[in-house]
């Protein structure tokens, strides 16, 4: 939704719809804030799934992998974001996601890694790696300008 709000904001700006651009900009900002508020886990230093437990409390379910770096892959964590270092550390850690062939879908340290139905449990997905490389390029370009 964050990517779509950003795209709609850019389209509205391009065609001169200033009010719509402002409206979509507010939605984008709210989504980015919610990503941090709802999904960032300070202890795990990563983005996690959020769910409700038996006591109706919000809790994190952390499986480091693509889910942890989606905010980065989708461009919602920019070069100035306070969590960027932790995201990049996760990506480059050979014991977590990094391989010589691409970024794993799930951390090598996760108990589910490479088990049972292996669809999201260790394969390297080219489309996800493209998004990662693209955002690394964008972040590096922004850091060069700082």
Give the number of other Cβ atoms within 10 Å of residue 98's Cβ: 15
List helix spans (H) across the chain: 2-14, 18-34, 66-73, 84-92, 126-145
Does pLDDT of 146 surpass 60? no
The stretch 133-146 carries a mean pLDDT of: 80
Q: What is the pLDDT of residue 57?
A: 87
Closest CA to 110 of 47, 68, 64: 64
Q: What is the pLDDT of residues 47-77, one digit of tens each?
A: 999 999 888 888 999 999 999 999 999 999 9
- What's the confidence (pLDDT) of residue 56? 86
Pick from 9, 33, 146, 7: which is nearest to 79 by CA? Answer: 146
Give the residue among 27, 50, 28 at the shortest CA–CA distance from 39: 50
* pTM, 2 dp: 0.85
Q: What is the pLDDT of residue 144?
A: 66
pLDDT value of position 35:
94
Q: Could you state, in order of their start, the residue ranges of all structural domains in the chain?
A: 1-38, 64-145
Per-residue pLDDT tens digits for 103-139: 999 999 999 888 877 767 778 899 999 999 999 998 8
3-state secondary structure of 99: strand
**Phi, psi dihedrals of residue 140, rounded to the nearest 5°:** -65, -40
Angle at 37 between CA 42 and CA 112, to 5 degrees: 55
């Amino acid at each position: 939704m964050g990517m779509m709000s950003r795209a709609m904001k850019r389209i509205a700006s391009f065609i001169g719809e200033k009010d719509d651009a402002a409206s979509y900009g507010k939605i984008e900002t709210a989504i980015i804030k919610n990503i941090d508020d709802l999904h960032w886990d300070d202890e795990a230093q990563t983005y996690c799934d959020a769910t409700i437990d038996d006591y109706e409390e919000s809790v994190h379910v952390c499986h480091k992998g693509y889910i942890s770096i989606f905010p980065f892959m989708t461009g919602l964590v920019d070069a100035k974001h306070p969590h960027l270092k932790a995201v990049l550390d996760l990506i480059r850690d050979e014991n977590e996601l990094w391989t010589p062939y691409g970024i794993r879908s799930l951390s090598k340290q996760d108990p589910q890694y490479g088990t049972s139905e292996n669809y999201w449990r260790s394969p390297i997905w080219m489309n996800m790696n493209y998004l990662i490389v693209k955002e690394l390029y964008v972040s590096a370009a922004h850091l060069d300008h700082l």
